[in-house]
Structure 1
Amino acid sequence: MSWEILHDDVAFVTKEEASAELRKLIDQTVARAVDDSLSYGHRVAFEVSGGIDSTIATSRGLLALSKRGMEDKAFGVSITYPYYEFRREDRFISDVYADHGMRRISLDGRKLLPFAGVKRTPVHNIPNLAVVGAAQHTAVVDAAAKHGASLLFNGLGGDTLFGMGPTGQYRFHEAPRRPEWFTRRGWKIVTHHWKQLIDYFDSGERSSKRQFFTGAHIDDGWADTIIAQPRGVRRQCLFTNPDIIPLAARLWSQRPNGASYKSVLREVFAKDLPQSIRRRRHKIAYDGLYVRGYRSALPDLEKLISRSEDALSEAGIKTPHFLEAVHEIARGDLTDDRLVSSVLACLLWMEKKNDLS
């Protein structure tokens, strides 16, 4: 398999060589993107979240700009939430701006909750709307375009390659229990397809490596096509160069078992990270945002479910019970969130498809 060849190609590389090569490849990606943007006289934006990946993207991008005497072309875009669980996040974000003296544009995250786009039905390849990404990506790209940027750096892909490594990142589990809102007939179809996935993506290390080395999850390519390109903005992920994948694997292979989350990036790019970010254990879970998203969109979701009763019945889903499951999530119980939100995304897509036809 090609992913096995990729892995073997760098089996001889030492930790120091792999670290230096990783920095070089990322700087090459950054330099090409910056030069292309500056050639048109455009500004450069950075999505600053306060996480490790976006901070590295910001630091390396600003270094490239400073070498060209173009630091004044840069600005950052950050989304903030006034909720209790995010009370420390602004400190991390502010530390990045303080380190670099960069202009900051802040966006109110309360307007970008999951299902924020529920009133406009999506095209079929926008992913599950219960994921925060769709609304956030749109808002950040809009802000970048509004302030004259044609290039937007982000930290996407860091979780994929440097979260837990080739053997610990991707595990496909057995099908979940049948929820009350699914009939046995409908659930039989779900479990049939789930078993096919398990047969291919098993729960062992080999399956995890297969997914890791394909690089399939490094960037949200749909956001480039659906969101960024129509606005004249190029979204630049640091980790899309395929040569980075075997280097990441090599660096992980030299870590002790049970190495901490993103320990490779913390070490290789230590000088690019403010101390507060280098020491942070993990970013805040978005569970609270999911609940608030369901809660704020509840009237629209109720109407969507009512309009879709025939489609739900055909799929083996009991409408009253499914509606109650949506209410349960809005009350704070996320047990069935992934299944429920997947069904809702399908309903939205089917409405769009019917509108077009």
Structure 2
Amino acid sequence: MQKIERGGKVKMPLPIILGVGAAIAGAAGVGSGAYGAIRMKEANDTLKNAEQQHRNNVNRFETISELTSGTMDELGNLELNILKNFDAFSDTMGKIQNRPEFRNYEEQGVKLPEYNPEELEKASAGAAVILGALGGAALGTAGGFAASGVAVSAVTALGTASTGTAISTLSGAAATNAALAALGGGSLKAGGGGVLLGGTVLSGVAAGAALFVGGIIFGAAGDKMAEKADTAYAEMKHAEKTMDDICQYLEELKNIADEYIRSLKKVHQLYMKNFAWVSFTVNNVHKTDWCLFTSEEKKALENTALLVGLLYKMCQVNLVIKAENENEINKINIQAVNEVMQDTEKVSADIL
């Protein structure tokens, strides 16, 4: 029962007071716990969302990287095979007697390299060495040569290994390692990023992209996912912006490479058509005296020599300019590529 004290005040028993206090505290605890659970769920959802978006971004990059690396490999292999097959042209030219010096082509603002049999033979032999060393190489390796200029790389590859042994005498893994090591410095200076086998931009991403993108790293978000949700999400968004830039760059590089492949194939087909005539005349008919050539045969040989110069010029172009800062993406050598493709149109039209 309640006790009434003097003055009319009601005094509650202590057990009742403690019970009421516990109930109030319990209610407050339930509210606090519910709020904490909500916050934990929100943080967990944020973290999962960040992880999923990062995986999607990486998958998108890997897809674009693989497509670009494949296109660049196609270009690199095409250029290497063109240079390698110049040995047939050099052999045929060496059989022709009393041949005059060919004129230097300087028409409509186009200047082609002079016919230099020694340099052409070096480039042809060097291209053969590189092609032999590329067997089983990582995706994007052949494209690395296209990025840095195949002709320069081919001449460099004909040098000697660090052991002093001629690279052309090596084979298998020894040839691969020696050729890639010899090309490292030259190709880097040429702007293609060298032939960095195993180089990656992000762990698990196609190695070829490192040849074209440069040293920029965007994978930090992958290591931040275990931290606070807000931090992880911010890191993911930062990485996403970098990957967006790289993907845009790779797509542009692929488009340029595709266009360059078409232009190169067009010139090469014209070259093969003219050289087939020359080769038949010299190697099948065995007409080796220039003085006995008909005007059509002479013209075919002159055109072939011009097209060799044009193809060699095209194989000298480096599609990628190395960024000065490692935190920047390499640049596409759009001006040089467009200029040489314009040259191909002018020379092809002149020959046709």
Q: Which TM bucket (shorter chain)?
A: under 0.3
Please, what TM-score do these two structures have when normalized by structure 2? 0.23
Please, what TM-score do these two structures have when normalized by structure 1? 0.22
- Pick the structure with more helix per residue: 2
Larger radius of gyration: 2
